[in-house]
Structure formats: structure tokens, C-alpha cells
Structure 1
Amino acid sequence: MQTYILLTKFSPDLCQKMKDQEVIGRTWFDQVREKCPSVKFIAHYALLGQFDFLDIYEAPDEETAAKVSLISQVNGAFQAQSLPAIQYKKFLKLVKEI
């Protein structure tokens, strides 16, 4: 499976409900599990910067990764980006091939 990085930024409305974050996060996670059962989450981090959260996950294809981003937006994310990630050793192998 392909590894993806999800960067999420909350909408201003959702920022005002920060004390409800545990429930909001659980709702989001449950929807991802229901709509994208093949997704495997590796890590979840809160960020101090341009984005509010970073998730590392595996998905079988880019369509599934797009669904994860869309579920985030439906649940109040102002911005959600899923980026494909390449393991560093694989990256070095690609560099040697060019």
C-alpha cells in the first residue's frame, strides 16, 4: 500500500469548538473507517504551525486517499491535503536510477 501524509487545517468555526475535539475526531475517524476500511493509520499529530494536524496513513490508491481528505473537509476542515510519501531508502534508489 502507498503511504500518504494528511495535513489538516481547521475552519474558524471548528477552532471555537476545540474542547469538543475528542468527539469531533472520533466522528471523523469512524467515518473514515466506514467509508475507507482499507486505510491503515500509522500516526496522528497535533501541529503548531500552518496546519493543525498531520496524519500518516496507508491507502491502496489515490482515490481512497482523496476520500480521506474529503471526509476531513465534510467534517469541518478548512483545508485538507493528502500527499503521497516515499520512504527515504526508496527515494535514494530512485535517485541512483537517474
Structure 2
Amino acid sequence: MPSFVMLTRLNHEALKQPNSLVDLSHEVTRRIKTECPGVEWDANYTILGPADYLDIFSAPDVETAMKVATIIRMFGHADTEIWTALEWDRFVELARSIPSAPKP
């Protein structure tokens, strides 16, 4: 199943109290479980920098991953960036299967 990395930046106007983050998280999680079966969360982090959160998850396909990002944008009044990711071992297999470039 494909892996995805997602950065989320919350709108500063969206949440007025820190406790509301927990409530929002529960609601978003419930909605994703209902609307996006097959999504598996691998890691969730709060981070310092231009984004607030980093999530790593697996989804059956790109459309499901986009649905996850859309739900988060809807509920969190947030911006998201999402990328596909490939485990290192799979990349090594892929790289070994590519023929060498022709010598000039």
C-alpha cells in the first residue's frame, strides 16, 4: 500500500483554545475512519517550523490520500502538503533494476 507524508498548517483563527485541538483531532480521526477505510496511520508529530503537524500514513491509492487531506483542510481550516513516499529498501530494489547509463 502506498505511503504518504503530509504537512499541515492550521489557520491561526481556527482554534481559540488549546483544548479544542484535542476535540478537533478526535473529530477528524472519526471522520477519516468513516470516510477513508483502509488508511493506516504510521506516525503523527507536532513540529516546529512553518507547519504544525507531520503525519505519515498508508492509503490504498492517491485518491484516498487526497480525501484524507481534504477532510483535514475542511475540519482544521488548514493548509496541507502531501507527498508520496517509498521505503528505502523498495527504492534500492528499484534502483538496482535500472540499467546503467551508456558510456559516452
Q: What is the CA-CA distance between 1:28 and the residue it aligns to?
A: 0.5
Give the secondary structure class of the aligned counterpart of 2:50. Answer: coil
Q: How many Å separate the matches in 1 of 2:31 and 2:9?
A: 18
Q: CA RMSD in A?
A: 1.4
Partner of 1:37: 37
Quick one: distance in 2 between partners of 1:15 and 1:95? 45
Aligned residues: 98
Deviation at residue 15 of structure 1 after TM alignment:
4.7
1:61/1:37 Cα in 2 relative to 1: closer, same or farther (>3 Å)?
same
Instruction: Determine which structure has more spread, i.e. the larger CA radius of gyration.
Output: 2
CA contact (8 A) 1:8 1:77 kept: no
Deviation (angstroms), 1:34: 0.6
Alignment of 1:4-83 (within 5 A): 4-83=4-83
Q: Provide the residue aligned with 2:93 in structure 1.
A: 93
Q: Aligned AA for 1:44?
A: N
Higher fraction of helix: 1
AA aligned to 1:57 is F
Task: Give the letter for the 2:5 counterpart.
Answer: I
Which structure 1 residue ranges, 4+ long, deviate > 4 Å from structure 2? none
Q: Which runs of 5+ in 1 are unaligned?
A: none
Q: What TM-score results when the alignment is normalised by the length of structure 2? A: 0.85
User: What TM-score does the superposition give when structure 1 sets the normalisation length?
Assistant: 0.90
Which runs of no fewer than 5 residues in structure 2 stay unpaired?
Answer: 99-104
